[in-house]
Structure 1
């Protein structure tokens, strides 16, 4: 009887460990503005010179998680998070706290010239990956595709 209990305990512990390892519960709800749902994809549009903009409203479920925004390689960005403005390229990271969370986070980006040409003239696309992480089981990923919308002349 003891062997059966030991085996069941080992299996239960393994299943719980696997569940914690594979669980992906979002640490926050994120609502986007200037991001459109087209053909089962979240899409933001850039201008002919490769500039894009969107905003995020974050409602955290847990306190103190890492928010990461990964842009295409060579992309410069300006993120306005509350009273602070962050400039950089390729990747933005911040620790999101429930206290002091701004109403909206503004994200402006400038694609590199080669990628801009590919998106504008060759109908290519790129993507922005937004992740939220807090160990042990809080994880979420959103992909926003970058496209160019040709304006029709009226």
Structure 2
């Protein structure tokens, strides 16, 4: 009987450890503007010179989680988070706090020339990955595909 209880305890501990490791609850609800849902994908559009823009409204469920926006390689960005403006290339990171959360987060980006050419003429769809996480099990990930909208001539 003791062996059976010991085996059950080990199995239960292993299952609980696995559940904590794989659980993924979103730390916030994020609503996007200038992001459209097409063919089961979230899509934002760029101009001929590779500029794109979208906004995010964040409603956190927890405080002090990390928000990461991963752009395609070589992409420059400008993120307006409240009164602060952040510029850079690659990945944008910030700690989101419930107390100091702005109404909207503006994200403007410009793809490198070669990637812009591939998007416009070859139909390539690079992605922007938006990740919110706080260890141990708060994690959410959204992918926004970048496309070019061809204007129709009348």
TM-score bucket of the superposed structures, by smaller chain:
over 0.9
Q: What residue is the counterpart of 2:96 in the other structure?
A: 96
CA distance in structure 2 between the partners assigned to 1:44 and 1:68 by the alignment = 18
Give the unaligned 5+ runs of structure 2. Answer: none
Kindly report structure 1 stretches of 4+ aligned residues shifted beyond 2 Å: none
Give the CA deviation at 1:104: 0.4
Give the CA deviation at 1:26: 0.6
TM-score scaled by length of structure 2 = 0.98
Give the CA deviation at 1:153: 2.8
Q: What residue is the counterpart of 1:13 in the other structure?
A: 13
Q: What residue is the counterpart of 1:22 in the other structure?
A: 22
1:61 aligns with 2:83: no
Give the CA deviation at 1:73: 0.1
Q: What SS is found at the alignment partner of 2:45?
A: strand
Q: What residue is the counterpart of 1:84 in the other structure?
A: 84
Q: What residue is the counterpart of 1:4 in the other structure?
A: 4
CA distance in structure 2 between the partners assigned to 1:116 and 1:54 by the alignment = 17
Give the unaligned 5+ runs of structure 1. Answer: none
TM-score scaled by length of structure 1 = 0.98
Give the CA deviation at 1:17: 0.5
Deviations 1:131-153 (A, max 9, x none): 01101101111000000001123
Deviations 1:69-104 (A, max 9, x none): 000000000000000000000100000000010000
